[in-house]
Structure 1
Amino acid sequence: MDDTLVCMRVQEELASATGLGNATLQVQVGDGIVLLTGTVASYAEKCRATRAVRRVAGVVESIQEILVLIESPDGVSDESLLWRVERCLAWAAAIPAGAVKVFVRRGWVTLRGVVDWNFQREECERIVGQLAGVVGIINLLTVRARLRAIDPMQSTTGALRRNAEIRSSDIAVIHTCGNVVLTGTVRNWYERRAIRRVAWSIPGVTLVRDRMQVL
Structure 2
Amino acid sequence: MKTDIEIKNDVLDELAWQPNVDENEIGVVVENGTVMLTGVLDNYRKKVAAEEAVKRVKGVKALAGDIQVRYGTSFQKTDVEIAKAIVKAFEWNTAVPEDKVSIEVRDGWVNLSGEVDSAFQKDAAARVVKNITGLKWVNNVITIKQAILPVDVKEQIAKAFKRSADIEADGITVEVHEDVVKLKGKVHSLTEKKAAQKTAYFSPGVYRIENELEVVD
TM-score (norm 1): 0.91
Corresponding residue number in structure 2 for 1:112: 113
Corresponding residue number in structure 2 for 1:2: 3
Given that residues 23 and 38 in structure 1 are in contact (C-alpha distance below 8 angstroms), is that contact kept between their aligned partners in structure 2?
no
Distance in 1 between residues matched to 2:118 and 2:75, nearest whole Å: 38
Corresponding residue number in structure 2 for 1:193: 194
Distance in 1 between residues matched to 2:182 and 2:71, nearest whole Å: 38
Distance in 2 between residues matched to 1:179 and 1:25, nearest whole Å: 36
Structure with higher RCO (Cα < 8 A, 6+ apart): 2
Shift of 1:202: 2.0
Given that residues 148 and 207 in structure 2 are in contact (C-alpha distance below 8 angstroms), is that contact kept between their aligned partners in structure 1?
no
**2:161 is aligned with what amino acid?**
L
Residue 115 (structure 2) pairs with residue 81 (structure 1): no
Matches within 5 A, 1:1-215: 1-21=2-22, 24-72=25-73, 75-146=76-147, 148=149, 150-215=151-216
Q: How many residues align?
A: 215
Q: What is the root-mean-square deviation in Å for CA atoms of aligned residues? A: 2.0
Given that residues 148 and 180 in structure 2 are in contact (C-alpha distance below 8 angstroms), is that contact kept between their aligned partners in structure 1?
no
Distance in 2 between residues matched to 1:73 and 1:148, nearest whole Å: 49
**2:77 is aligned with what amino acid?**
V
Distance in 1 between residues matched to 2:160 and 2:181, nearest whole Å: 14
Cα shift readout 1:138-171 (whole Å, capped 9, x = no counterpart): 0011223157383222332333334332215232
* Residues 1:59 and 1:97: Cα distance change in structure 2 (over 3 Å): closer
Shift of 1:102: 0.2
Sequence identity percentage: 29
TM-score (norm 2): 0.91
Distance in 2 between residues matched to 1:209 and 1:149, nearest whole Å: 16
Distance in 1 between residues matched to 2:40 and 2:15, nearest whole Å: 13
* Residues 1:148 and 1:55: Cα distance change in structure 2 (over 3 Å): closer
Distance in 1 between residues matched to 2:137 and 2:24, nearest whole Å: 16
Shift of 1:109: 0.5
SS in 1 for 2:64: strand
Given that residues 184 and 212 in structure 1 are in contact (C-alpha distance below 8 angstroms), is that contact kept between their aligned partners in structure 2?
yes
Distance in 1 between residues matched to 2:210 and 2:150, nearest whole Å: 22
Given that residues 22 and 40 in structure 1 are in contact (C-alpha distance below 8 angstroms), is that contact kept between their aligned partners in structure 2?
no
SS in 2 for 1:174: strand
SS in 2 for 1:72: coil
SS in 1 for 2:72: coil
Given that residues 150 and 178 in structure 2 are in contact (C-alpha distance below 8 angstroms), is that contact kept between their aligned partners in structure 1?
no
Shift of 1:16: 2.2
Given that residues 156 and 202 in structure 1 are in contact (C-alpha distance below 8 angstroms), is that contact kept between their aligned partners in structure 2?
yes
Distance in 2 between residues matched to 1:136 and 1:176, nearest whole Å: 32
